[in-house]
Structure 1
Amino acid sequence: MRSRRLPSLRPDVSRRLILTADDFGHSPAVNEAVLAACREGVLRHASLMVAGDAAEEAARLARSAPPGRLSVGLHLVLCCGRALRDSPLAPGGAFPGSPAACGLRYFLRQDLEPALEAELRAQFERFLSLGLPPSHVDSHANIHVHPVLFPMLLRLAREYGFKRVRLPGGELSAALSYDPRPFASQLGQAFVFAGMEGALGGRPALCPDRTWGLLRSGLMEEGYLLHLLSRLPEGTTEIYFHPTTDRASLPAGRRPTPAHHSRLDFEALTSPRVAQVLRERAIELI
């Protein structure tokens, strides 16, 4: 099933764009980048890690943003981060640092499903307790699209009033035409997530038509964002980023690093050239 047409303020516009910053609440530098990119740039959405070290600060900053300017959703953590509940999922309060290992464990251990749902519920309820209106749901390392987790997520998103769920895909051609390095990694990730969408029977109604950002996670520089905008198809597209104001985050190489917070991402979201291209190409930010 393709996505429902998301609300548009301009019915004549055929290309709508959701720009999202992940890991809101991870650190003060990430929070600073989100608020600055919202006030001074093109960012309109952020995904909050409710167990992050700076989650409460992030919620306060979100409430201080200009009215209607920043929509905040839930960035679930089920790997590579802290848990909210004591359970066998997270020994010592922390999930294992390997998304692949976590995913395999969740697939093989059906006895963990009650604990997984309880942790998901705890994170949904923690988000609502921070006083933010529910917007969208995604996750750290996109682990929410795991075949065991995704059905739970869709059910809970509807139950708690969240309007949109991320399902990455459709980026391979654009990524390879910009920079094919590392080819094997980009190809492998694209096939894994395409296979997950196929296992789900297509794209559920709560998802945009496509979501980009997976294949260059942590390296969403201005040039790549402009490249994506030049290829943006009709419909609703989400592009996600991992911005920070920390200058020490600049990557030494060109290899995408999924857990990386990058000043490159922040500079892309505050680029005057990006804002100009959005206007010239009549792309509506929603």
Structure 2
Amino acid sequence: RLRPQVRGRHLSVDNLQRGRMSAVTRRLIVTADDFGISTAVNEAVRRGYRDGVLRFASLMVTGEAAADAVDIARRDCPGLGVGLHLVLCSGRPALRPESLEGLLESDGRFPDDPVLCGLRYFFDGGAERRLERELRAQFERFLATGLRPAHVDGHLNIHAHPVVFPLVMRLAREHGFSRVRLPGGEFGVSFGYSRRPLGKQLLEAAVFGMLRAYLLRSHADPRIEVPQRVYGLLRSGLMREEYVREAVRRLPPGTTEIYFHPSADPASEAGAEPRPGHHTCTELRTLTSPGLKTFLDDEGISLVTANV
């Protein structure tokens, strides 16, 4: 379902061979998360696809602006690959609250804190059964949009939870999704770019690194692609162009995904430090930078596109 897209650029004699080699071996998936959470994010996805390097978006089918997101994908972004952004944390469920007793807050939403969600899912013996019903409802709601399924990931990466991930892999196979995200491999780039906040970077890199290794060892499926590296976790909301360039320079051969949280709200500038789930116009500027498009071309990066 995926094919590499390489934009032609004028390459000097010195870098012609390097460009040819890297175009074959260095594949980049560029994704925007939280498509459907708000109209500002939806507009950022539209601009990122139309004017920039964005080629995939992850749809929150329970988001406040999900219907608008689907309309944008159909009307304005015919080549955009759309995947499912599963919500089991900080959002609304697809099922009625009484079907998820013990997993929701009093307002009928999942808790905002992913650690709290993770503990509930791990220690509640009946959670797995209820979570499977909720996940299935979200998969089915995605297919009901008529969009071709591209990939699966999760809000605040809750899909990487040891109880949740096996369910996600099984449902992805059942519903025709061919790729699942697992964060990992970013620490060297992030630490080299900025050591702030060091403790948080170390903790997140260690936790998700161990999760990735365990989940791939226990639940890998040759029918489901998992990118070899995934960047975006450690600089969430703060994916400036210079950071993305540094990450791309250091890309080894293989497939890497870089995910963003862009917003078209001009008041949503990034702060000094990363904030998980924070949508910023800073990241939209990165995605639509003409300089970044040129840089990817000159590096010989193969930009993956969806076969829609």
TM class, shorter-chain normalised? Answer: over 0.9
Q: 1:31: which partner in 2?
A: 42
AA partner of residue 272 (structure 2): R
In the alignment, which residue of structure 2 is the partner of 1:78?
Answer: 88
Q: Is 1:40 matched up with 2:80?
A: no
Is the alpha carbon distance of 1:120 and 1:232 closer, same or farther for their aligned partners in structure 2, counting shifts above 3 Å? same
1:188-234: CA deviations, max 9, x gaps? 00000011122224483420111110000010111111111111111
Aligned residues of 1:84 and 1:93 also touching (Cα < 8 A): no
Query: Whole-Å Cα distance in 2 between the matches of residues 120 and 282 of structure 1?
Result: 38
Give the TM-score normalised by the residue count of structure 1.
0.94
Q: Structure 1 residues 98, 66: closer, same or farther in 2, change over 3 A?
A: closer
How far apart, in 1, do the equivalents of 2:161 and 2:77 lie? 35
How do 1:124-273 and structure 2 match up within 5 A? 124-202=139-217, 204=220, 205=222, 206-251=225-270, 253-273=271-291
2:124 to 99, 102, 109: 109
Instruction: Look up the equivalent residue of 1:276 and give its one-letter code.
Output: T
CA distance change for structure 1 residues 267 and 116 in 2, over 3 Å: closer, same or farther?
Answer: same
Matched with 2:301 is: 283
What one-letter code is carried by the residue in structure 1 that aligns with 2:171? L
Measure the CA separation in 2 of the matches of 1:227 and 1:9: 21
Note the C-alpha offset of 1:45: 0.1
Percent of aligned pairs with the same amino acid: 54
RMSD between superposed Cα atoms in Å: 1.6
Give, in angstroms, the shift of residue 66 of structure 1: 4.5
* Cα distance between partner residues in 2 of 1:199 and 1:72: 27
Deviations 1:103-128 (A, max 9, x none): 01101112111110000001001111
Does the aligned pair in 2 maintain the 1:79–1:98 contact within 8 Å? yes
1:5-28 CA distance string (max 9 Å, x none)? 964467961111000000000111
SS in 1 for 2:135: helix
Cα distance in 1 for residues equivalent to 2:48 and 2:5:
22
How many residue pairs end up in the alignment?
280
Shift of 1:236: 0.5
* Aligned-partner SS, 1:46: strand
Question: Which AA in structure 2 matches 1:185?
Answer: K
Change beyond 3 A, Cα 1:53–1:66: closer
The one of the two structures with greater contact order (alpha-carbon pairs below 8 A, sep at least 6) is: 2
The Cα shift of 1:65 comes to 3.0
Confirm whether residue 97 of structure 1 aligns to residue 107 of structure 2: no
How far 1:269 moved relative to its partner?
Answer: 0.3
- Segments of 4+ in structure 1 off by > 4 A? 9-12
User: Residues 100 and 226 (structure 1 numbering): CA distance in 2 closer, same or farther, change over 3 Å?
Assistant: same
Per the normalisation by structure 2, the TM-score is 0.88
Unaligned runs of 5+ in 1: none
Matched position secondary structure for 1:18: strand
Deviation at 1:130, TM superposition (A): 1.1
Whole-angstrom distance in 2 between the partners of 1:231 and 1:20: 19
Q: How many Å separate the matches in 2 of 1:154 and 1:210? A: 18
Distance in 1, Cα, partners of 2:244 & 2:34: 19
TM-superposition CA deviations, 1:121-150 (whole Å, max 9, x none): 010011111111111000110010000000
